[in-house]
A and B are shown apart, each in its own frame.
Chain A
């Protein structure tokens, strides 16, 4: 193990190893998404350059190849963000069902705009680009990995109160 890969925790590395087993020996880059997900998880929700370099070294890729992937996919954060990531779907179905009011409420309640994190580092409102595939429950949002559907401003308050 090189110095660069040392910042990946043992757990992260064993998770990556598990993914690596699923792909041919010489196609380690196939595990890059999984590896980045683990690295992001280990770091409380966002990636740093060091972590991306570590993933690159671990998989034998060039650093830039990993930056490309991490900066492409919206599920990776490459800057420090709040602990809990909130994605409000604003795609067509949710928009028709009033997602704008939800976003507005959320921004007012947390005192930050979409794309920002709260000062206490608790929440982050993510700019979500994609339909989250829960259209029949719109408006909806996802916090960390959980879906919350049929939202109203009151429901949002209740949900947020549950978070540490």
Chain B
């Protein structure tokens, strides 16, 4: 036994504990129950509710278990008369001001106060006086407040301070008049705010979208995996009958711990969106008909067959969302390759593709998610990690609280919820130049021998203090990582950014990682939903077209799965035009939209994440399979089944699967061990100098616009993390063009234009325009990056 181990006795049981551990942690670990409200294992100790009182030998008073460190030989009794009486009195105090409104309270049935009142409360209250009433505050579209029920445990306040890194809730007033709230009327804005619903032990903070829609005892809890970011948070879906009622986190210490992002929590609302496609539909002479599956699949078969039979399979382009499951993506590529086309891609927002098989087997995080906690230094390149991968951001923040240094190179001065020790905010075209400067600083400080080509490329780079700070922090850390975020991946010189980042990582002895975008980006790569790769990252000989090439080529037919090309692709205008001009478009989609009505010919209703079994491989390469939790809505079917039938329609071999598990074992056999190595030897591809002139466009995708599901989650759409259809410019550029807030501006890109509202936003660098994608107002503009012109309209 190590020195730090001690022995204590609880209720006659001898337990070993670590020195300095709080008593309640020890009793919890040993399944000895001590009641509590304010204690939470992920939050600091507040010891303000006093419910966890226990008796300790030789201590005259009862002690709170959550704030009493264990000591060798300590003898604790949790179930004596004195302890019970203490707990009972505390319950009486707590219930003085708590309303007796359990029958109309959403927390009823899952309320810690209700449970403990049963166990530790009196059945009659001695309190006769007036109870306190607190006016409710509207704190936004996601969380319902009923603050009269608050018992002042301050879990929500500590969550804000310690986990969200954004203090929004607080305790104002004093004594009798103390209130928990935001003080002023304001929406809480943390991307993790929904977690305070779970933390609140009473019904003071409950879910607004779920409100009054079910009682907790009617719900059945099922396991699932969150479908939005590349973290793959574990979730529980609560189902009543065949209806999804809400989503809460499931505990997985190595991935999401006990938290989930708001997007993962509230996106389920889209399952019952009005835009859900319920029946297969076919367009005939411009008129949509609801048809049965057979008819719809016949039309698909006949339309694609024409091209296949006339040797024009390469006129079929297939674009799939990387939030589809591994099974779906694998079958889709198998089907499309089966009918002779290699044009398949799932990299929707990327524009720089030249690496082909020189790229990694999938965009690997570079380390495991839990390893982030111990990181000492990180350089973020083109990333708004806080909104894009909230759980990874939470882990990064933990590292920062333990002393790690995080640095950022971005095109928008994003707000981090931790201090950033050095940052460089530059226009997109300057990002490679900045990286070259960091690289040069590294070469200078480490005296590394680098090859001539690299030396030449960075020769002219100018090194400033920021670059030196970044270089020093990375080199000095034993455990450092260089991360490429969503904006880096979308950057028109992505491969150059990557090679520079790779060199920086190598010279500073850091890891290189990609923060990938979708729940199954890794799975999409590994399943072969790429034009140059088969499943298991095996080379495809006749390389097909990537997303951008497929759109540029204006093919005759497109097969879409889970995508709205005009909202999800790098070049919205190009995508829309390609769809409109195609002779045939079939979309496997859960939703229907005006745009789709316009360009598609067949709509096949597929299941959303709650309605299908499947597998996601997350950013760190963990494969997580799940079962469907409800049956598909109306005539919708899991996409893997649709693809299986399509395979059979075309009489392709190997499409006789009985279950998605059959598909999974086939693709897993192709993939083998999921492994990836990002530490290849990098060459600098392309020259490092800016060719841009004029004003540059930057595009970001706000958190709740990322995919068709989040775009249709009504409550998420009421938050601030949605696209505003405006141009964001800094005050200098606004002044230069005589524009002010709320003006409308003429925005021109290539040969197209749009009139958009102006928002002055000083997070944007000089001579740049930030546009948020997936908004109808800007579809007509075009590519995510490039030159753009603005003028007052």
Contact = CB atoms under 8 A, between A and B. Distances in A.
A67 B167 contact: no
Interface string A66-77: 011001100000
B172 A72 contact: yes
Interface secondary structure of A, over-half rule: helix
Given A49-B184, A71-B183, A64 B167 contact: yes
B182 A64 contact: yes
B172 to A, nearest CB: 4
Given A49-B184, A71-B183, A64 B168 contact: yes
B172 A62 contact: no
Contact of A68 (B166, B168, B172, B184): B172
Interface in B167-188: 167-174, 182-184
Nearest to B157: A64
B159 to A, nearest CB: 13
- Report the interface size class on chain A: under 10
B170 A65 contact: yes
A72 B173 contact: yes
B174 A64 contact: no
Contacts of A64: 167-170, 172, 182-183
Interface string A49-84: 100000000000011110110011000000000000
A49 B183 CA distance: 10
Contacts of A49: 184
Interface in B153-209: 166-174, 182-184
Contacts of B183: 63-64, 67-68, 71
A1 to B, nearest CB: 15
Interface string A81-98: 000000000000000000
Contacts of A68: 170-172, 183
Contacts of B173: 71-72
Interface residues of B, number: 12
A71 B171 CA distance: 9
Contact of A67 (B166, B172, B174): B172
Contacts of A62: 166-168
B622 to A, nearest CB: 35
Nearest to B181: A64
A91 B554 CA distance: 85
A151 B742 CA distance: 60
Contacts of B170: 64-65, 67-68
A64 B166 CA distance: 10
Nearest to A56: B167
A63 B166 CA distance: 10
Nearest to B169: A64
Contacts of B167: 62, 64-65
Given A62-B166, A62-B167, A71 B172 contact: yes
Contacts of B168: 62, 64
A20 to B, nearest CB: 19
Nearest to A68: B170
A56 to B, nearest CB: 10
Contacts of B174: 71-72
Nearest to B174: A72
Contacts of B172: 64, 67-68, 71-72
A65 B167 CA distance: 8
Interface in A109-127: none
Nearest to A64: B170
B46 to A, nearest CB: 14
A65 B166 CA distance: 11
B149 to A, nearest CB: 20
Interface string A38-52: 000000000001000
User: Which of A64, A67, A72 has most B Cβ within 10 Å?
Assistant: A64
Contacts of B171: 68
B417 to A, nearest CB: 11
A63 B188 CA distance: 13
Nearest to B166: A62
Nearest to A62: B167
B71 to A, nearest CB: 32
Contacts of B182: 64
A49 B182 CA distance: 12
A112 to B, nearest CB: 21
A64 B172 CA distance: 8
A97 B184 CA distance: 41
Contacts of A63: 183-184
Contacts of B169: 64
A63 B172 CA distance: 12
A67 B184 CA distance: 9
A71 B169 CA distance: 14
A71 B173 CA distance: 5
B776 to A, nearest CB: 33
Contacts of A67: 170, 172, 183-184
A62 B164 CA distance: 13
A62 B409 CA distance: 26
A42 to B, nearest CB: 21
B31 to A, nearest CB: 38
B371 to A, nearest CB: 29
A63 B169 CA distance: 10
B238 to A, nearest CB: 31
11 contacts: A49-B184, A62-B168, A63-B183, A64-B167, A64-B183, A67-B172, A67-B184, A68-B171, A71-B173, A71-B183, A72-B173
Interface of A: 49, 62-65, 67-68, 71-72
Interface of B: 166-174, 182-184
Q: Which 3 A-B pairs have the closest CB atoms?
A: A64-B170, A62-B167, A71-B172
Given A49-B184, A62-B168, A68-B172, 9 more contacts: A63-B183, A64-B168, A64-B170, A64-B183, A65-B170, A67-B170, A67-B183, A71-B172, A72-B173
